[in-house]
Amino acid sequence: MVAWADKFRYEQAAAQVVSRSWVLDLFQQTKALNGLFAPIGLLLDYIVRARLGVPSILPAWRVSKLSMRVIDALWFAALALGAAYLIRALLRFVEPTLSMDDLVEVAQSGGLTFLRVAVLIVIATLVWVPIGVAIGLRPAVAEKIQPIAQFLAAFPVNLLFPIAVYMILKFNLDPNIWLSPLMILGTQWYILFNVIAGASAFPSDLREAAATFRIRGWNWWRKVILPGVFPYFVTGAITASGGAWNASIVAEAVSWGPTKLSANGLGAYIALATEAGDFPRIALGIAMMSTMVVIMNRLFWRPLYALAERRTRLD
Amino acid sequence: MTESETKPVLELQHICKAFAKPSGEPLAVLSEINICLREGEILGLLGRSGSGKSTLLRIAGGLIKPTEGQVLYRAAPLNGPADGIAMVFQTFALFPWLTVLENVEAGLDALGLAHAEIRARAMQAIDLIGLDGFQSAYPRELSGGMRQRVGFARAIVINPVLLLMDEPFSALDVLTSETLRTDFLDLWAEHLLPTKSVLMVTHNIEEAVLMCDKILVLSSNPGRIAAEIPVPLAQPRNKLDDEFRAIVDEIYSILTARTVESIGALRRAHGGLAQPLPRASVNKMSGLLETLSAQPYDGRANLAEFARSHRFEIDDLFPTAEAVHILEFAEFDDGALKLSAAGRAFVHGGTDERKRLFKEHLLRFVPLTAHMRRVLEERESHGAPSTRFEIELEDHLTVADAEQTLRAATAWGRYAELFTYDDQTRMFSIIPVGG
């Protein structure tokens, strides 16, 4: 794909290092492979070209401004009604067994897990952004690292949990702290991927300008490359933080044989409730987690993404 | 001042540069370049796209290491970007996330000055270059001309001894580039810039003659210095002056002579496959031939005048002229283009007659299209993937040139109905005669 994507390179100066791939050569030049994949290509063509058969009367169906507003109002009313109904159903479901104390507990757990996710994203950022930049600016290295990073991202991190349990028991560590890294193990790679992609796509004229004016050291990071990879980083960090929230369910409460370790947190709360078959608490925990993820996206990541978009666009 | 009195600011000695081909072999883009740039000089590097002039400028700026040879900056070897060398980019290369002021200040980064001094010098440069009032704007809010002014401000703020300019006006429209050029020359003439020498790359002949004290004409594949032309005219120069025109004419003659020479040489070498075909559409060629055959040219046009009256730049006119020369519908003749008998027949022919003539000339004078036709005829399937020819071309040309050449051959062959090409499958094919 890297070699193939070179076709789409949008630059005036020729790339100094040409990407090559025997797989691409194989697919482009082997008659048998061309023939073999032709039916798949045809099928894809057919699917892409298939008409959806939407009647063409739609554009003719004009709506006046007033009725448009009425339709909007009706739609919002329907949404509000639906939400109210769902909340009532949820409350009725949890009411017999849960009290205000449960809500406080779940909120506290949520706060703890939030803290963990935030700290872990910061640490992962500090580690992987410089590494990703260093890799992404060297096409030859990026080509070699990419398969390794992909393998790591696909690696089921649960397999490492027993080792963590063993280590925590052996050194008598605090699970509240030392179980946390497990949450980010699987998702940190999204930050690395995206930063590598961002650094590879960094315009070569800007690199040359930075080199000519000898912008180096911290200034280079601050004025040149960090803003350049920022939108890519935000994309990766959103994925990584969302993934970390989900991973907290398996990472905050782990077991190895008869040994069980759990930290205080929303993930452990949900995991323990699941183990106990306590549906009201599962529902409460998941509702809390969804709410927190949405709030974090709305109040933090979205504005950050909008800023990245606005600042790095030239046109 | 005579040459012996002034000190050289930059010397390029025996510079060669080769890039890696996909197969890993080196492909020379620059060969045996020797340049001496003296104080008070504006030196122009003039050449067509693909002559390696931008690469040469980057070697002069320490951004690219030459494969062979050495660069001396103020008599000391240059290893990497150095104090006192600034560059203005064709694409402006402004940081979109920094304001105008911050972009200009970024140029001063390496000097390690106090904050107050950085601010003062940046404001002074902004003032000098006519950007007052735009300090807090982001580059995206500016027009192309204003963006390039920021590029200039960022370059001159470091008080450069040597200013490198990579086609600084070519991304701008005619009027804007005229304004920026004049403004720059005014600053230069009034010695408001601390800059001692300028090395600029351009593909615009008039621009080169307007600005430079000396012009080096680069030939292509690999880039070599084909000619060194002094421009002894006083500034400000007038495009309509006879002397000015004479120099423009001379450059056109050199470029055409070079082109004729290289076409001849390349046609003979490697079965003609080493000959890059220019980016020229059949429509443009027809238009050029028609204009050439009509009044006032009546079959022969001075290229410099032709370019001036039709507002062509060399990157525009030359490929088309070169294409009709290769196809022998016209012929370069000492800075002029002369319609041939076949060219006249082409102009007067109808669609079918034109296609027939075009096909005949493609087979006779363009070894690549003749070769493609032969391969397609010999193959049992009468088809061949485009990679078959791409790979063959890449043995002799850069990847970009090979791509461009095949694209031109494809367009011309399709027009002449020499073969068909399916872009989806990337296959060439012919309908066999009598089949």
Q: Which residues of chain B are within 8 Å of residue A12 when distances are taken between CB atoms?
A: 54, 90-91
Structure confidence at residue A197 as a pLDDT band (50, 70, 90): confident
pLDDT in tens, A85-96: 988 887 787 777
Q: Percentages helix, strand, coil for chain B, rounded to the nearest 5?
A: 45, 20, 35
Q: Is the pLDDT of residue A56 over 80?
A: no
pLDDT in tens, B401-414: 888 899 999 999 99
- Whether A124 and A252 map to the same domain: the answer is yes
Residue A75 lies in a domain: no
Residue A62 lies in a domain: no
Chain A contact for B188, CB < 8 A? Answer: no
Residue A103 lies in a domain: yes
The boundaries of the domain holding residue A135 are 97-311
Q: Which residues of chain B are within 8 Å of residue A215 when distances are taken between CB atoms?
A: 106, 109-110
Q: What was the pLDDT predicted at B1?
A: 43
- Whether A32 and A102 map to the same domain: the answer is no
- Whether A110 and A24 map to the same domain: the answer is no
Two tokens at B3?
Answer: 């040459």
Q: In this structure, are strands B224-230 and B68-73 parallel, antiparallel, or unpaired?
A: unpaired
Q: What was the pLDDT predicted at A16?
A: 42
CATH of the domain at A223: 1.10.3720.10
- Whether A302 and A153 map to the same domain: the answer is yes
- Whether A168 and A271 map to the same domain: the answer is yes
Q: Which of B87, B93, B398 sits opposite A14 (nearest CB)?
A: B398
Q: Phi then psi for B415, rounded to 5 degrees?
A: -60, -45
Q: Do residue A209 and residue B93 have CB atoms under 8 angstroms apart?
A: yes
Residue A66 lies in a domain: no
Q: What was the pLDDT predicted at B5?
A: 60
pLDDT in tens, A231-244: 899 989 988 998 89
Q: Do residue A213 and residue B139 have CB atoms under 8 angstroms apart?
A: no
What CA–CA distances, in Å, run from B355 to B348, B360, B370?
Answer: 12, 9, 15
Q: Which of A18, A29, A205 sits opposite B89 (nearest CB)?
A: A205
Residue A57 lies in a domain: no
Q: Among all chains, which residue has been given the structure tokens 């960094």?
A: A202
Q: Is the pLDDT of residue B139 over 50?
A: yes
Q: What was the pLDDT predicted at A62?
A: 63
Q: What share of chain A in percent tops pLDDT 70?
A: 86
* Count of alpha carbons within 13 angstroms of residue A99, beta-carbon side: 1
Q: What was the pLDDT predicted at A50?
A: 80
Q: Is the pLDDT of residue B435 over 50?
A: no
Q: Is the pLDDT of residue B128 over 70?
A: yes
- Whether A27 and A134 map to the same domain: the answer is no
Shortest CA distance to B200 belongs to which of B53, B339, B35? B53
Structure confidence at residue A15 as a pLDDT band (50, 70, 90): very low
Report ipTM for this prediction.
0.77
Q: What was the pLDDT predicted at A11?
A: 46
pLDDT in tens, B160-176: 999 999 999 988 888 88
Residue A77 lies in a domain: no
Chain A contact for B86, CB < 8 A? Answer: yes
Q: Do residue B97 and residue A203 have CB atoms under 8 angstroms apart?
A: no
pLDDT in tens, B189-226: 888 888 889 999 998 888 999 999 999 998 877 788 88
What DSSP element (H or E) covers A293? helix A279-296
Q: Which of A212, A224, A230 sits opposite B86 (nearest CB)?
A: A212
* Count of alpha carbons within 13 angstroms of residue A251, beta-carbon side: 24
Where are the strands (E) in B206-248, listed by range? 214-219, 224-230
B5 versus B85: the higher-pLDDT residue is B85
Q: What was the pLDDT predicted at A54?
A: 63
- Whether A158 and A242 map to the same domain: the answer is yes
Chain B contact for A64, CB < 8 A? Answer: no
Chain B contact for A18, CB < 8 A? Answer: yes
- How many domains would you assign to chain A? 2
pLDDT in tens, B78-102: 988 988 999 999 999 999 999 999 9
Chain A contact for B199, CB < 8 A? Answer: no
Q: Which residue of A has its CA nearest to B61?
A: A212
Q: Among all chains, which residue has been given the structure tokens 């690395």?
A: A192
B221 versus B297: the higher-pLDDT residue is B297
pLDDT in tens, A131-146: 999 999 998 888 888 7
- Whether A224 and A289 map to the same domain: the answer is yes
Residue A289 lies in a domain: yes
- What is the mean predicted confidence (pLDDT) over A6-28? 57
Residue A71 lies in a domain: no
Q: Is the pLDDT of residue B3 over 60?
A: no
Q: What was the pLDDT predicted at A17?
A: 45
- Whether A262 and A198 map to the same domain: the answer is yes
Q: Do residue A314 and residue B96 have CB atoms under 8 angstroms apart?
A: yes
Q: What mean pLDDT is reported for chain B?
A: 87
Chain B contact for A172, CB < 8 A? Answer: no
